[in-house]
Each structure stands twice: as C-alpha cells, then as structure tokens.
Structure 1
Amino acid sequence: MSMAIPDLQDVVAEIADEMRQRVDRGDVATYIPELARVDPGHFGIAVIDAEGHVATGGDADTPFSIQSISKVFTLTLALGLAGDRLWQRVGREPSGSRFNSIVQLESERGIPRNPFINAGAIAVTDLILSGHQPREALGEILRFLQFLADDTTIQIDKAVAASEQRTGFRNAALANYMKSYGVLDNPVDFTLGVYFHHCAISMSCRQLATAGRFLAHLGRNPSTGFSVVTPERARRINAVMLTCGHYDGSGEFAYRVGLPGKSGVGGGIIAIAPGKASIAVWSPGLDESGNSHLGRIALEALAKRLNLSIFGS
C-alpha cells in the first residue's frame, strides 16, 4: 500500500532554508572549466513520494550538469541490452579509489571495479554504443531520460561537453587502457564522445527526482504504471548505488544517509528511499571525494526527519 509522507513539504522547505544559511559549501569542480564557473551559492531539493506528491525547495527547477548521475541511467539501459552479460566487462564492487583512478585498472587487467567509477561508466557506454553511430547511441540515452522524467525539454549542455572533451585526458587514458585489454569494442574516440556528452546532460532536481521514481517502486513508475525494469533489476541497481554510488565516499554516505544514491561532480545527488520516495538535491560545492557537501548534509537531515533510512529508524 503506497503512502503519502506526512509533513513532506514543511520538512523540505525547512531543510532548504537551513542549507541556504550555511557558509560551509565545499568547492566547485575546477578540472572541468565550465563547472568551475557555477555559483556555489545554489541549493535545490525535490522529493516525490509514492503518491506522486512533489515537494521542492530552493533552486529545484534550475538545470545543472548531472555528470555521473547519468551513469545510473546508462547502467539501466545497458542491463536492458545485455542483461547479466554486462558483468563480464565491469565488476560491482566498491572501488575505494578516486573516481578517475588508473591504478586499480592496471592490477585488475582492464576490468573496471564498478559501473559508477569513470572507467566502468566508459565500459558501459561502449556496450550501449555497439551497433550504433555515436549520435544514435547518445539520442537513445537522452530520449530515455526525457521519457523517465516525462519532459522532452531536457538537453545536453554543449559547452560542458566541449569543455570535458578538451580536458578529458585522464578519461582518454582509462579508455585506451581498457581498449588494450579488449574491454572496449568501439573506437575509443566514439565511446568517449558519447560518454562526455551523456555526462553533460542538464537537468533540474525536479526532473531528476521524477526520472528516478522507477527505482523507488520496484522498477515501475507508480503514477503511470509503466514498468521500466523488473523488481529484481531495480533492487540490484539500488544495491550498486548504495555500495558504489559515491566513489570512495560511498561508505560514509551509506553510514550517514542510509539510502542508495548517486552523486555527480556537478553537485547533484539522486537518492532512493525504496517504496517511499525519489529524491534529488543539488549544491555545486564538493567534498574531498567529489560529492556534494551540502547535498549529503541535506539528505542526512531529510532521512532522519522523515525516517527514510533503509536500515530502520
């Protein structure tokens, strides 16, 4: 029986107000020049409960670069294409290393540790690309997000994509290394092009929370009844999000927030409260692990006040 969350809008407004007043905001990502220009003063939050009630606060309708949050949706697409064969080319263990580390890749013969670190997401993108032109593969990813969010206005931020392509030497190194082990099937430039562009998709908290609803409700959107993935697959995607969704900060996020989540260096985080809610927060300032500083604090407060942690109250 799906339930509305009592006091949802009040709690969300309260948290947005608290975050607006904080001075500790973390540092914006500087290694992608376009992201370095984003104002760290932003904070947005959107929560959608099982009944479809939407509660928002702050800059919930301001689009931002979703970056690695796109990896949740490319993983979902790749599992749809390849099923469990996907796990032959990418693992599902936490990495404990930086999101763009090459050291682990070397010791593990080119097989990335999980689909959410950069190397793993590049391998997933390569699978989606197989049999397509880059433009077609990218169109498929974008349309999937537009469909999930029920919003055809969602676009790729071309300036961010170009910025990533100009400066993405570390990602090119990861891709070439995997190519040398036969983990990638397509030309490295094609795979990287699609990868940089799907990371540069721009969405608001409201759009992201809507797109993530299927993961909170056993693979289906409760408002439309449309099934995106099987209940088992939804559970498994959530499991990988819980253990690997925040790079080397994943344990800390699970400990403090207690929800499956996925961060991006644009400052966004999507979080899933199974059976209860889909949540998106955005604050561009990051912590040492590359995760939104205020985003995590806000999610911890939300989970506590609404008793959302999957580990109980």
Structure 2
Amino acid sequence: MIDLNKLRTFTVVADEGSITKAAARLYRTQPAISAQLKDVEEETELVLFERKNSKIYLTKEGTCLFEYARERIDEIDGVVACLRNNRQNLDGTIRLGVYFELTSSFVPEIVHAFKREHPRVRLDIIELDHDALEVGLLGNDIDLGLVTTLKKPSFFETQPFYSFQRHLVASREYLSTVSSTLTYENIFDLEVIASSNLLSDYKYWLKINQQNQLLKQVDNITKLITVKDAEALRSLIKKGAGIGFYDDFGGQSKSEDYAVVPVFPESKPITINIDVARRKTRTQNLLQDEFYDFLIEKSEAGLT
C-alpha cells in the first residue's frame, strides 16, 4: 500500500514537472522529495519518471497513476474539509455533570476553551454530589461527568483527567489562637469546615496518616461549618473561621495564599483523582464525542 503523503508528493512533482519547484511548494528539501519519489517507484514496482537534463517527465505508467491519484486525493481533501467544517459548526447541547467541589477550580477554563472552538454549542454545567452524578449518567440525564468515584464502574467508560492534592490547613491567624501543642488527638476540638456532614475527607486523611483510632471521633464533631461552594470554603479558611481542606492545583495555594498553612506540616495530603466518565452503552453522538476527545486532549496537555 502506498503512503498517502508520498503519493501526494508524487502528484505535486508531476504537476510542477520539477523537484525543485515541488520542494518549494511543499516546504520540503529536494533530497526529501527525491527520497519519497524513489519510495513510490519501489512500492509500485513501476518507472514513473524519465529524467532528461534538469527536467523530469512522466512515463505512460506515471501519467496513468498521476491522473488517478490526483482525482482521489482531491476527493479525500474534500471529505476532510467537510468533516472539519462540520466539527467547527457543531451545535447542540452538552450536559456536563461535575462533582460540586470541583466546579470553580478548572471548569471555567474548560468551558472557555471549548466555546472558543465551538461557539454554537451550549454547555450545561450541572453540579451534583457523587451519588447523584452517577445516577444522572446512568439515566442519560447527563452526557459526560467529571467524577472522583463510581459505585458501578463497569457501566462506564472512563479516562484519567486530572489529579491534585488536598491539604488540611488553617490560617496563620487562626492557628495562633490555639494550643501550640496541637495533636491529632485534640484536633477536633477546633472549629471544622467541610463540604458536607459526611466528613469523608477527614476520615480518609486520618487513615492515610495512621490515625484509625480517631475515626469515631469524627462523628462526634460539634464545632462544624458545612458549605458546598468551594470558593466559600476557601474564603472561610483564609478568614480564620477554622480548619479545612484546601485544594492545591499546581502549587497555587502556596504562592497565592501564603497566610494559609498546613495544620500538621508533616502529615500526608489526600490525593484526588478525577476521571472523565460516560456510559459504555450509549447512542453515538458526534458532539459528545468531540467534547469527550477535547477533555482528554486538555488532560494530556495538563489543562493548559
């Protein structure tokens, strides 16, 4: 089988009647053009050109191949142009489910970048907790989801999207008001800020820091503030309302929020892994496939 790129080079040389002119048109070197022509002749086992002085001429076989190849390449170029045009003019609605803690972190960047490429597409961002997000995907109420956990992973096609660390922190001002001998055992005597009453982050944090004996203590916390909005949670921590988990996206918290410090500098942070998820059994949809591919590309590029 002849490589399409080499065949395209052959047609340009035949059209120009000169390797020098073909090289200039294709922005390639003359040796590179000559090498591709040689490959085409070897792959077809045909003599396609006759060389006289500094000019080249098509043989009978070369003329036949040129006429056929040019027509087919024009057809391929037309199909590709049509497909690109269709993608650029995609319209419709994509329903993206996002775990509510993540919405303000990088979703605005995703929306802005995708809308720049596809201005006619409507994006509905739906904030949900873990369970509702999974139910929405299963029930086709959501097209794609950015998830951190799934109870029925076998029902979904997932791709890694992003990972970050979550640190237990407080403001310097707040920590200055508590005991200098703060320990894991008395940490929950402090004001605790969380995104829900489940306090799952605190329990996981205790486990990875070998403090399993304190897990029951989490359920007895009385000094508790819960707020779902991530920005509001961060603001409460910075203003000294208590301790809470802070998401560190690429070290931003260290450079931007210098007044916020780890409660226990030696403790291990939580690692949060986000996946792009969609149902395995679904109706093919060009718009959804385009957005799915876009998210994967953004992930591989580091969300830049």
Common topology (TM > 0.5): no
Whose RCO is larger (CA < 8 A, sep 6+)?
1
TM-score, structure 2 normalization: 0.26
Larger CA Rg, structure 1 vs 2 = 2
